[in-house]
Structure 1
Amino acid sequence: MRADYGTRTQAGGHIDVARRLGDARQWGVRFNGSLRDGKTPLDHQSREASLAALALDYTTEATQVTLDLIQQREDVDAPTRRPSLTAGLAVPAAPDARRNITQRWEWYESTERSALLKARHALNAQWSVFASLGAAQSEVNRLFNTPVITNTAGDTRVSPARARFDVHREVAEAGVRGQFTTGAVSHQATLQWSHYEDRYRMGSVAGAAYLSNIYAPVDRPAQDVAAPGTTPKRSASELRGLALSDTLGLWGDTVLLTVGLRHQRVASDNFDPTTGARTSPYAKSAVTPMAGIVVKPWQGVSLYANYIEGLSKGDTAPSTATNAGEIFAPYKSKQQEIGIKLDHGSLMTTASLFQIRKPSGYLQDNRFSVDGEQRNQGLELMAYGELGGGWRLYGGATWIDAELTRTNNRATQGNHAVGVPRTQFTLNAEHDLAWVPGLTATAGVTRTGAQYADQANLQRLPSWTTVDLGLRWRTVVASRTTTLRANVRNATGRDYWAGSSTWGTLLMGAPRSLQISATVDF
């Protein structure tokens, strides 16, 4: 059980209870629940969020069946919105991170319910079958819209809209797994069928535009915008796949070779919200390969490489676009990676080179489109584990060259992709303070390099660095194990643009905030 309190009056609690039942303890039940409510660190913003999750399972030596039921709800007054920039406008300096340019009378409500049933049964010591079936329903009701920054003085124009969204998703899978040998070669084979489908509905009613400013927000009279009478279908998608893979173990599993093929079919339809007529159907099938190898030449050393192709559903226009919910054509993605993992005992380090090709979308005149390709090439270094003397760390660094390899404008071809910083660095460290048993100091540093918010590379977001600090004390109170925590986020109070979405909206960095909590084990 945990209770916490954040900057201003954001308070919350969490409970996690689990039990095993039955003569052989074959039945299991677990409940997770949380509730947070109150004012956030942002001006005139309040947020209420709740989560209820129930997990049931039946487990025997040969069979396991699980059922997960989840409901989440979030209500926000004056929700934070990512502003976009007028074309060609330089990125203005970030405002005070506590400033909220959303009006007090704008709001957001969302509810999500999901269920997932999974089963696994061992036929014998080598073979097992598995299956799962799930569904999720997301409902959003809101009154707000995306501010557009019109000049370097930070003036904005907002056209609020009352909107309702309804997204329904269904998933299913079934398959068989087996372990066997052929001579001196071991095999771990899987045959898997999968199915996914979704339906997206949206209705909206426009309000009256108003002006404000990111540095000095202006209060405007409340608007009473009627809820949309209907939520017409905007798009629907269906993905089906059949995959066969085998991991071969050679020379005592010092070499692991994985090969596989996957047949996929993706079908997507867009619909006219007025007539309901299908406007742009897409359908594509492909057989895509996958291959990977792991070589363990010495104890604690693993060399690996992989190549994966996949057919994916096309990008979906964001809710901020005039064509929100529109699905674009399916695409084939390609990913290559090579790397090394070193196990030093209490410390693990990794290094990898990777390349990913995927479509590139952008927002122009508030309309989202996808007609290009970007290639991400990079190097990633990671380290995590214990250093000794009560020190622990988790850190990483990434260098990415994200190039627009194909665009609809020769002037932008070869430019850096939107929303991808060239460098990212994180380092989180913990140190046990010996002078107080159970007391641990924590610190984290995040450094993100400059990035662009437009394909022309004229709208540049500067690099930024933040520092987080904290204390954790694990002790015993009234015979109960208790953990007390205090964390300061963005301890230096840095004002910054945290990043850009692929369609060019800007994310404001989180303000300095304090959160304290107490967790008690029963």
Structure 2
Amino acid sequence: MAALDSNRHIRPVLSVSASAVRRALFLLSMPIAFGAGVAHAQSSTDTTGDTKTQSALPGVAVSASSAPVAPEQATFGGGQVAKATSLGVLGTQQLINVPFSVTSYTAKAIQNKQSQTVGDFLQATDPNVRVSMNSGQFAENYTIRGFQLYSDDVSINGLFGLTPRQMVLSDAVSRVDLFKGTNAFVNGAPAGGTGVGGGVNVELKHADDKPLTEVTTKVSGSGQVGAHLDVGRRFGSNDQFGIRFNQSDDGGETAVDKQKQYNKTTAVGLDWRGEKLRLTADFLYQRMKIDQGRTTFTATGAVPSVPSATSTFAQPWTNSNLEDTIGMVGAEYDFAPGWTAYVKGGARHGNEHGSYSSPAYSGATNTATAYRLTTAFKEDSTSAMGGIRGKFNTGPVSHQFNLGGSIVSVDQKSAYTFSAFPAFNTDLSNVVDVPRPADASGAGNLGDPGTIEQVVNRSISVSDTLGFLNDRVLLTVGARRQELRQQTYGYTGTQSGMYDQSVTTPIFGLVVKPQDNLSVYFNRAEALVQGGVSSSAGNIGQVFAPYRSRQLELGSKYDLGRFGTNVALFQIEQPATYTDPTTLVTSQGGKQRNRGVEVGFYGEPIKGLRLTAGASYTDAKLLKASTAANDGNTGVGVPAWLANISADYDIPHVPGLAVNAAWIYTSRQYLDEANTLSIGAWSRFDVGARYATQVLGKDVTVRATVQNVANRSYWASTYGGYLSMGNPRTFWLSLTTDF
């Protein structure tokens, strides 16, 4: 439950009048649009496979060579998946050359999905990610390779501790990098103690070479309305200086009954591109307010029938307010041929407060009861990293040397009040409103919460990637020295727990390239991960000792130019954490070993058809479980099978029109360690369309998306022992005009 987690993409055939279409779209564009697509009166294909809008102008003969695409900007066909990205201490890398499984999604992919948040986008797109608590539940936590990544531990511009804590709105995001597997060596250790199964990094928007003034208006089927302004410019004799400004506001009733949500994002990105020196500065403000939001709940004895897809479990007095203010700066300097020094850092202030109602269902009595929890939570964090990277040769062997260090410091302040448990009876299908229950217990001052936890994570890393046989064989060896320091305090200010532990974890990676566009890789990685603090009511605040996780991975990547594939086999181990549904006590005991296989496909295999698709299988076993009878059982909240198929297709006889569809599948999940309670497999279908044209000489794109088109009701996740529902049918309609 989020409240508790807070303490934590021509042939004219049809006789259709293009001018009539444009007139109709013009009328519909004041101010909110209708339609769907990507094209225009006349169409041409750009380097990413999408169509561009062209005016009906007199013919002009032009002869010019197009500028080459920089390696770090290259994408597979359709422009949805990048071929290179920035990988922590390793810097910008071609992904086919690294011994890790990484997928980098572009802003185009996010925009065409009409995803409101990063979690919403990843779950709908990638077959290796599920969101264990959806956007109606105040937080988005990710399950990657069967292990959880808290929203706290998502990095932003490569820095931990600075990302908006519970959910990341997508309007200011230019790229989402998904790193599958243990990644502490590459990225460092996150402050929240999760991410053994993988990591997520979001990059904020900076100015492109082409000027941009883009206005998007949108409306949902339930009544949410919003607007988004995106402006980018470059200045100077060589366009050295860039500025990117994003402002978005939306709000109204969601598809969940009685739930209302209000979102606001302000982002400014500045950059300077000199001959040797590159500077960046970013500011991000994000605010979310959710009234009467649907929560997770616990269940014992049986799993209840799934209520209506739009059902809410919330009371009228429930709410959540999430506010984050973030600033970051960075610099890179090429101090010698092939050598770069870099540094970046930032700070964040987060302010959260709300009242929550979390039902507890009893299978023995077929009833549900609930209580009220009110929290106040503030967090101040700083984060920095720096180092040097260099390339040199020793005879026939090439080297990519990296030396770096990082530090993350987090100060958390919290207070809470509880009502009596159970404070009131409730019903999962027909919730009866009750008055706000009175306080029965609590700790700290809601108006001025005190410090309950301080975390400082320091690390230093060194690595060398040696290239043999003209870089057909790439061997990466390195190590990271990590120091994790955590202090916890009672609500009276008295220190209640502490640990300070250091460990050196090695990295070994091997890439073999039989040909330039095919690689086979292997890695062995370790990480020291913060044990974390219990957020469960039964032992809230208890500190767990740090632990060492280990990973083995074997995989292959194939780049066919416009289309790519990958496959990976993996094994990851970490200590198991379990929350007893009766006592609500979280404990660590034994370990969980996840073995699996992943397959992915992305790009444009056929002109006009863009795909992102794949599947994964995970065998999650509990070993040396705290209860002997559970030894060998499947881990809680880990589905064995995941699959996603997302297709985007240009309609050949209707220039400018593209349609898309997605299928998302998740197999059965267990709710308890004993594997006696489970939820069934679920699948979701999304459909959409996109249409691009010109109105009064301006590029206009209309998008329509329907998520969960069948309005299917289903339990979506059991991770951590909590049940959560999938979102109901949700319709979004938007119009984007490029001025």
Q: Distance in 2 between matches of 1:242 and 1:137?
A: 26
Q: Distance in 1 between matches of 2:693 and 2:589?
A: 57
* 1:193-204 matches, cutoff 5 A: 193-204=405-416
Match for residue 281 of structure 1? 498
- Judging changes above 3 Å, is the alpha-carbon distance between structure 1 residues 224 and 113 closer, same or farther for their aligned structure 2 residues? farther
Higher-strand-fraction structure: 1
1:327, distance to aligned residue in structure 2 (A)? 3.6
Partner of 1:411, secondary structure, is: helix
Work out which structure has the larger RCO, using CA pairs closer than 8 Å and 6 or more positions apart in sequence: 2
Deviations 1:236-258 (A, max 9, x none): 21111110011111111111111
Deviations 1:86-117 (A, max 9, x none): 3xx12122111101010122111111111111
Is 2:259 aligned against 1:45? yes
Match for residue 341 of structure 1? 557
Match for residue 332 of structure 1? 548
Q: Which amino acid aligns with 2:433?
A: D
Partner of 2:628, secondary structure, is: coil
Q: Which amino acid aligns with 2:226?
A: G
Q: What is the aligned length?
A: 517
The TM-score with structure 2 as length reference comes to 0.68
* 1:226-305 matches, cutoff 5 A: 228-274=446-492, 276-305=493-522
1:144, distance to aligned residue in structure 2 (A)? 1.1
Equivalent residue in structure 2 for 1:492, among 710, 718, 739:
710
| C-alpha RMSD over aligned residues | 1.7
Is 2:592 aligned against 1:378? no
1:37, distance to aligned residue in structure 2 (A)? 0.5
1:512, distance to aligned residue in structure 2 (A)? 0.9
- Given that residues 268 and 329 in structure 1 are in contact (C-alpha distance below 8 angstroms), is that contact kept between their aligned partners in structure 2? no
Match for residue 344 of structure 2? 132
- Judging changes above 3 Å, is the alpha-carbon distance between structure 1 residues 360 and 53 closer, same or farther for their aligned structure 2 residues? same
- Given that residues 91 and 152 in structure 1 are in contact (C-alpha distance below 8 angstroms), is that contact kept between their aligned partners in structure 2? no
Equivalent residue in structure 2 for 1:395, among 592, 597, 613:
613
Match for residue 361 of structure 1? 577
- Given that residues 92 and 152 in structure 1 are in contact (C-alpha distance below 8 angstroms), is that contact kept between their aligned partners in structure 2? no
Partner of 2:676, secondary structure, is: coil
Partner of 1:376, secondary structure, is: strand
Sequence identity (%): 34
Is 2:675 aligned against 1:428? no
Deviations 1:97-148 (A, max 9, x none): 1010101221111111111111111102221111111111211110113211
Q: Distance in 1 between matches of 2:732 and 2:447?
A: 42
Match for residue 350 of structure 1? 566
Is 2:313 aligned against 1:81? no
Q: Distance in 1 between matches of 2:560 and 2:274?
A: 37
- Given that residues 444 and 467 in structure 1 are in contact (C-alpha distance below 8 angstroms), is that contact kept between their aligned partners in structure 2? yes
Q: Which amino acid aligns with 2:557?
A: K
Bigger Cα displacement from structure 2, 278-287 vs 324-333: 324-333
Equivalent residue in structure 1 for 2:314, among 85, 102, 105:
102
Match for residue 311 of structure 1? 528
Deviations 1:262-314 (A, max 9, x none): 1111111221212x222221121111100111111134221111111111211
Match for residue 369 of structure 2? 157
Is 2:269 aligned against 1:55? yes
Higher-helix-fraction structure: 2
Equivalent residue in structure 1 for 2:226, among 12, 20, 23:
12
Partner of 1:90, secondary structure, is: coil
Q: Distance in 2 between matches of 1:179 and 1:506?
A: 50
Q: Which amino acid aligns with 1:33?
A: Q
Match for residue 391 of structure 2? 179
Q: Which amino acid aligns with 1:288?
A: T
Deviations 1:149-189 (A, max 9, x none): 12377632111022101122211111111111000111111
Q: Distance in 1 between matches of 2:665 and 2:585?
A: 32
Q: Distance in 2 between matches of 1:372 and 1:119?
A: 44
- Given that residues 235 and 326 in structure 1 are in contact (C-alpha distance below 8 angstroms), is that contact kept between their aligned partners in structure 2? no
Equivalent residue in structure 1 for 2:354, among 130, 142, 146:
142
Q: Distance in 2 between matches of 1:334 and 1:387?
A: 36
- Judging changes above 3 Å, is the alpha-carbon distance between structure 1 residues 14 and 171 closer, same or farther for their aligned structure 2 residues? same
Q: Structure 1: which 5+ runs fail to align?
A: none
Deviations 1:328-381 (A, max 9, x none): 211111111101112233221111100111222121212222233111100001
The TM-score with structure 1 as length reference comes to 0.96
Q: Distance in 2 between matches of 1:24 and 1:349?
A: 38
Equivalent residue in structure 2 for 1:216, among 410, 425, 430:
430
Q: Which amino acid aligns with 2:225?
A: A
Q: Distance in 2 between matches of 1:126 and 1:335?
A: 32
* 1:496-511 matches, cutoff 5 A: 496-501=714-719, 503-511=720-728
Q: Distance in 2 between matches of 1:324 and 1:167?
A: 18
Match for residue 734 of structure 2? 517
Partner of 1:219, secondary structure, is: coil
Q: Distance in 2 between matches of 1:395 and 1:267?
A: 41
Match for residue 655 of structure 2? 437
Partner of 2:377, secondary structure, is: strand
Partner of 2:511, secondary structure, is: strand
1:420, distance to aligned residue in structure 2 (A)? 0.6
